[in-house]
């Protein structure tokens, strides 16, 4: 754990007084960017599992998925509490009654202290906002919004399927209801400028984000992104470039913003690159080293700009 930035684990320790793990669930959702409502191709980095490689099996119940993952996690924790993370595809896209059922089922599990829901900002209509608001009154909840970039040209190129203004509208609605949200940012997107991720992080803070999840763009086999890479449409980032961008983001965001991730999550068997991303510990250590070099920390540059 770093003393130079505020991780979500630091937050958990403060709130729950213990280390909290996450169990990733697949509730059998779809996505409007894949089912033809917006497009069929999806975001160009999306995998067949809808960005949920490590989640449970949607053929079994939510309770069973949680139980199975807890067995798998026994070496790490025997009795510890967990956050149930609805990860695959768009988890506010569907019948509200069904969504209520699966969210409450997860929350009724004795080891679950809260839920995290991954979704798109264009899938937060009034009935779902009402449901989330209701849940938020009694339980610990946050939403995860896949923004990736604030640049609408880059967003079009990656086929995100909604403009930045939709994110701003959604975050306004969430803030009105005191619902926490985490913003996903992808570093190294094709057509993005070097400052793209830093600008995106600053805009997310401005929009009231509770947390930030920084992903490295990695390329998975048999995706459109792999084709683009082979056609030399973009280049993969080096470790040094990635470390510099992450450090800049950390220095430029307020100290109370929770940092949920600073690495990519590629699987060895399907990863095309960057190969260095497989050594997550080295990535984190390199960021730590970079910050330590100049005695830097989260929010440092905001303090200096006052
Ligand atoms: S919004 Fe998520 S699930 Fe849908 S296509 Fe994009 S990455 Fe995939």
Is 3 inside a domain boundary?
no
Which residue among 43, 44, 124, 143 is best mutated to probe the pocket of ligand 1, counting the most ligand atoms within 8 A of its Cβ? 43
Q: Residue 155: left (phi > 0), alpha (psi -120 to 50), or beta? A: alpha
Quote the distance between the C-alpha of residue 204 and its chain's center. 13
Number of neighbours of residue 206 by Cβ within 10 angstroms? 11
Reading the block at residue 111, the tokens are 């080891």
The two tokens of residue 226 are 């792999």
The boundaries of the domain holding residue 180 are 8-305
224 near 176, Cβ under 8 Å? Answer: no
Whether residue 306 is predicted with pLDDT greater than 60 in this model: the reply is no
Q: What CATH number does residue 195 fall under?
A: 3.20.20
Inside any domain, residue 178: yes
pLDDT of residue 30: 93
Ligand 1 centre to CA of 9 (Å) is: 26
Q: What percent of the chain has pLDDT over 70?
A: 95
Cα of 143 vs centre of ligand 1, distance in Å, is 15
Position 251 in a domain? yes
How many domains in the chain?
1
Taking a C-beta distance cutoff of 8 angstroms, is the pair 140, 114 a contact? yes
Q: Residue 2 falls within a domain, yes or no? A: no
Question: Is residue 66 assigned to a domain?
Answer: yes
Span from the CA of 92 to the centroid of ligand 1 (angstroms) = 12
* Structure confidence by residue, pLDDT tens digits, 162-215: 999 999 999 999 999 999 999 999 999 999 999 999 999 999 999 999 999 999
Q: What angle do CA 238, 163, 172 make, to 5 degrees?
A: 105
Coil, strand or helix at 212: strand
Q: Which of 214, 25, 13 is nearest to 117 (CA)?
A: 25
Ligand 1 test: best mutation among 32, 44, 47, 50, most atoms within 8 Å of CB? 50
Which residue's C-alpha comes closest to atom 2 of ligand 1?
Answer: 89
Q: What is the mean pLDDT of the chain?
A: 94
Span 118-147, pLDDT tens digits: 999 999 999 999 999 999 999 999 999 999
Reported as a single tens digit per residue, the pLDDT across 96-106 is 999 999 999 99
Instruction: Give the span between the Cα atoms of 241 and 217, in whole angstroms.
Output: 12
Q: How far is CA 117 from CA 84, 174, 184, 236, in A?
A: 9, 13, 12, 29
Q: Whose CA is nearest to atom 3 of ligand 1?
A: 89
Q: Which residue has the tokens 């939403």?
A: 143
Alpha carbon distance 38, 160 (integer Å): 9
120 lines ligand 1 (CB under 6 A): yes
* Cα R_g (the chain), whole angstroms: 19
Is 136 a member of any domain?
A: yes
The helix (run of H) or strand (run of E) holding residue 36 is none
Distance between CA 121 and CA 144 in Å, rounded? 9
Lowest mean pLDDT among 53-62, 121-130, 232-241, 262-271: 53-62
pTM score of the predicted model: 0.95
Q: In terms of Cα–Cα distance, which of 48, 92, 72, 47 is closest to 218?
A: 47
Give Cα separations from 268 to 221, 226, 276, 283 (angstroms).
10, 15, 11, 16
| Cα 90 to Cα 170: distance, rounded to the nearest angstrom | 15
Q: How deeply is 21 buried, as exposed, middle or buried, from its count of CB atoms within 10 A (0-12, 13-18, 19+)?
A: middle
Answer yes or no: is 117 within a domain.
Answer: yes
Cis status of the peptide bond prior to 274, with omega within 30 of 0: yes
Rounded to the nearest angstrom, the gap between the alpha carbon of residue 170 and the centroid of all alpha carbons in its chain is: 16
Question: Which atom number of ligand 1 is nearest to the Cα of residue 32?
Answer: 4
Ligand 1 centroid to residue 125 C-alpha, Å: 18
Crossing angle of helices 126-138 and 164-176, in 10° steps, is: 40
pLDDT digits (tens, 9 = 90+) for 253-271: 999 999 999 987 778 898 9
User: How far is it, in rounded angstroms, from Cα 175 to Cα 205?
Assistant: 12
Nearest in space to 3 (alpha carbons), one of 306, 305, 295, 301: 295
């Amino acid at each position: 754990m770093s003393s130079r930035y505020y991780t979500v684990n630091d937050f958990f320790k403060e709130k729950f007084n213990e280390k909290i793990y996450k169990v990733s669930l697949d509730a059998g959702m779809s996505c409007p960017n894949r089912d033809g409502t917006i497009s069929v191709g999806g975001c160009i980095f999306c995998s067949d599992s809808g960005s949920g490689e490590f989640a449970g099996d949607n053929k079994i119940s939510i309770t069973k998925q949680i139980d199975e993952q807890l067995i798998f996690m026994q070496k790490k924790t025997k009795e510890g509490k967990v956050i149930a993370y609805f990860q695959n595809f768009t988890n506010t896209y569907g019948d509200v009654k069904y969504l209520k059922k699966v969210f409450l089922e997860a929350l009724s599990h004795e080891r679950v202290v809260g839920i995290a829901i991954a979704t798109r900002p264009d899938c937060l209509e009034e009935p779902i906002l009402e449901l989330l608001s209701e849940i938020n009154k009694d339980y610990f909840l946050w939403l995860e919004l896949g923004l990736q970039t604030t640049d609408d040209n880059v967003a079009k190129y990656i086929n995100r399927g909604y403009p930045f203004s939709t994110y701003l509208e959604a975050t306004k609605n969430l803030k009105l209801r005191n619902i926490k949200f985490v913003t996903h940012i992808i570093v190294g997107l094709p057509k993005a400028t070097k400052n793209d991720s830093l600008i995106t992080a600053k805009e997310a803070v401005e929009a009231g984000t509770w947390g930030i999840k920084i992903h490295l763009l990695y390329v998975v086999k048999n995706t459109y992104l792999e084709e683009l890479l082979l056609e030399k449409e973009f280049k993969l980032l080096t470790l040094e470039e990635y470390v510099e961008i992450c450090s800049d983001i950390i220095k430029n965001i307020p100290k109370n913003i929770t940092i949920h991730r600073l690495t990519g999550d590629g699987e060895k068997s399907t990863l095309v690159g960057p190969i260095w991303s497989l050594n997550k510990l080295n990535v984190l250590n390199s960021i730590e080293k970079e910050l330590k070099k100049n005695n830097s920390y989260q929010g440092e540059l905001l303090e200096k700009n006052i």
